[in-house]
């Protein structure tokens, strides 16, 4: 039985093994600092399909197949996945031929954190032995949907982040695999809305949600930030990272060199013109599967707090002038 030790933190009863990780990334991501770490990098935004949306679905399908192959499995008991497209359609169209029972989730760019947390809770409770958990996004499909048609060539403010193109997926399992990192705790966030309305400044919208969940976690466990080798948020970018550090300091928690943000890791600030950094469901999913997962497997990271963050606006709510509720979901991952 899992044990809830606070409003936001649950400690799992059993070690949940992350037995494989797969990453499929777009051209720009392949040209970034993590380029050589991705399993696959594709050059064509259309991925051989008729639309960006169908491209994203195919990327999901191919990357999920790769995660299964790496784990030596034909299928899992469950698949948990989500994305930024209206009605989760990258996931639902991606998995429609895979014959795996499917739970669609939506947490905007926190989706990969939600998938890992939910998947490990369900494996812990015996509901499934194996879970395929993933998240995807596509720059072109997301920009078109949330902001403006790409063909307009709108200038991007310096606070914007660049939606990452690709898919990251892992297989969670109750069966021991030597050397595989394990998920030990799950953090579930609340929707937080501080009134930010600018869809071009998601870092500012999301930082309060990350701060609230992280502060709650430290309070509920009595731990300090230096308990972890690495603390990584999802896609706050430079703007949101700075805000998070300030918000935590105001609560008496000081994030040091062990803290980074996946939106900062994935692109090169000087040469790639991505302004505040990367974002999108695939941002944290790719940085985790391509970089952190390997470091955990190699024992270079012993304890990690991984907390993807999501801005929960829709195109409709933004057009209606509404503010942006945000959320964060996290997991504690250890190597032993």
SS3 228: coil
Based on the shown chain and the rule CB under 8 A, indicate whether residue 172 belongs to the binding site for its own copies. no
In terms of CB distance, is 130 or 335 closer to its own copies?
130
Based on the shown chain and the rule CB under 8 A, indicate whether residue 229 belongs to the binding site for its own copies. no
b or e along 68-105 (b: 16 or more beta carbons within 10 Å of the residue's beta carbon)? Answer: bebbeeeebebbbbbbbbeebbbbbbbbeebebebbeb
Distance CA 169, CA 19 (A): 11
User: Bridge-partner residues for 221, per DSSP?
Assistant: none
Nearest approach in angstroms of CB 203 to its own copies is 18
Based on the shown chain and the rule CB under 8 A, indicate whether residue 190 belongs to the binding site for its own copies. yes
Distance CA 24, CA 87 (A): 22
Based on the shown chain and the rule CB under 8 A, indicate whether residue 48 belongs to the binding site for its own copies. no
Q: Which residue of 10, 19, 25, 37 would you call a contact of its own copies, by CB under 8 A?
A: 10
Q: What is the DSSP letter of 192?
A: B
Q: How far is CA 306 from its chain centroid? A: 9
| Contact letters for its own copies, residues 138-157 (x by CB under 8 A) | -------x------------
Based on the shown chain and the rule CB under 8 A, indicate whether residue 133 belongs to the binding site for its own copies. no
- Please calculate the CA angle 255-257-258 and round it to the nearest 5 degrees: 75
Q: Which range touches its own copies (CB under 8 A), out of 152-160, 190-198, 256-264, 297-305?
A: 190-198
Based on the shown chain and the rule CB under 8 A, indicate whether residue 200 belongs to the binding site for its own copies. no
Q: Which residue of 13, 268, 273, 298 would you call a contact of its own copies, by CB under 8 A?
A: 13
Under rule CB under 8 A, which residues in 268-327 are in contact with its own copies? 312-317, 320, 322, 325, 327
Q: Which residue of 1, 48, 74, 178 would you call a contact of its own copies, by CB under 8 A?
A: 1
* Dihedral sign computed on CA atoms, order 175, 176, 178, 180: positive
Based on the shown chain and the rule CB under 8 A, indicate whether residue 262 belongs to the binding site for its own copies. no
Judge contact between 209 and 327, C-beta under 8 A.
yes
Distance CA 114, CA 111 (A): 5
In terms of CB distance, is 81 or 335 closer to its own copies?
81
Distance CA 231, CA 328 (A): 13
Q: Which range touches its own copies (CB under 8 A), out of 87-95, 176-184, 244-252, 301-309?
A: 87-95
Distance CA 247, CA 27 (A): 35
Q: Which residue of 44, 46, 127, 226 would you call a contact of its own copies, by CB under 8 A?
A: 127
Distance CA 309, CA 287 (A): 14
Based on the shown chain and the rule CB under 8 A, indicate whether residue 104 belongs to the binding site for its own copies. yes
Q: Which positions touch its own copies (CB under 8 A)?
A: 1-4, 7-8, 10, 13, 50-51, 53-54, 77-78, 82, 84-89, 92-93, 95-108, 114, 118, 121-122, 124-129, 145, 186, 188-193, 312-317, 320, 322, 325, 327, 329
């Amino acid at each position: 039985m899992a044990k809830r030790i606070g409003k936001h933190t649950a400690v799992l009863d059993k070690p949940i093994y992350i037995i494989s990780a797969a990453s499929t990334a777009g051209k720009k991501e392949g040209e970034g600092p993590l380029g050589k770490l991705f399993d696959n990098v594709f050059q064509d935004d259309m991925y051989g399909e008729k639309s960006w949306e169908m491209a994203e679905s195919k990327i999901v399908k191919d990357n999920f197949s790769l995660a299964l192959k790496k784990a030596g499995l034909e299928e899992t008991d469950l698949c948990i996945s989500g994305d930024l497209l209206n009605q989760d359609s990258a996931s639902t169209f991606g998995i429609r031929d895979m014959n795996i029972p499917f739970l669609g989730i939506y947490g905007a760019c926190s989706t990969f954190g939600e998938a890992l947390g939910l998947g490990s809770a369900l494996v812990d409770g015996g509901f499934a032995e194996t879970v395929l958990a993933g998240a995807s996004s596509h720059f072109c499909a997301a920009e078109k949907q949330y902001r403006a048609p790409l063909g307009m060539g709108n200038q991007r403010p310096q606070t914007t982040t660049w939606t990452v193109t690709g898919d990251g997926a892992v297989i969670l399992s109750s069966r021991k695999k030597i050397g595989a990192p394990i998920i030990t705790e799950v953090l579930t966030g609340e929707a937080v809305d501080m009134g930010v309305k600018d869809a071009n400044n998601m870092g500012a919208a999301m930082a309060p949600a990350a701060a609230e969940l992280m502060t709650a976690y430290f309070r509920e466990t009595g731990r300090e930030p230096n308990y972890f080798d690495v603390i990584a948020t999802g896609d706050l970018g430079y703007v949101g990272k700075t805000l998070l550090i300030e918000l935590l300091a105001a609560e008496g928690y000081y994030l040091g060199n062990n803290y980074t943000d996946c939106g900062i890791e994935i692109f090169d600030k000087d040469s790639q013109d991505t302004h505040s950094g990367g974002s999108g469901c695939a941002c944290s999913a790719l940085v985790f599967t391509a970089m952190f997962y390997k470091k955990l497997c190699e024992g270079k990271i012993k304890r990690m707090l991984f907390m993807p963050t999501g801005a929960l606006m829709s195109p409709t709510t933004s057009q209606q002038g509404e503010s942006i509720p945000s959320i964060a979901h996290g997991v504690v991952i250890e190597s032993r």
